[in-house]
Amino acid sequence: MELLKGRFVRSLSGKDKGMILVVVGVTDEGYLLLADGKTRKLETPKKKKQKHAEVLALPQIEEQEVGMLTNRRLREAVKGAVTLLTIRKE
């Protein structure tokens, strides 16, 4: 489960369905802690079951960088991931 830290995921259910988020942590119960720096800040990450999130085939944020992330950098990383996904679709 710790391997997911720093990975980009797409929410598959809930009011955030379709949003791109970053895994900033994993709980002992198997929940992912997700943030995007805008609607979900690092201080209050979204707790979501792993089955409700699709791991995306994008370069992940290095684990040592995850601990040093700010909301601004997180927003920029998510924006870059969305741009990459848009380019791949075309």
Please list the rounded mean pLDDT of every run of 10 residues in the chain (90 residues).
81 94 91 94 94 89 74 90 80
Q: Residue 63: what pLDDT?
A: 62
CATH code for the part of the protein at 2-89: 2.30.30.30
> In terms of Cα–Cα distance, which of 6, 9, 1 is closest to 61?
6
- Rounded distance, CA 32 to CA 45, Å? 9
Count CB atoms within 10 A of the CB of residue 69: 17
Do 46 and 9 contact (CB within 8 A), yes or no?
no
Q: For Cα atoms 13, 15, 20, give the angle at the middle one, nearest 5 degrees.
A: 70
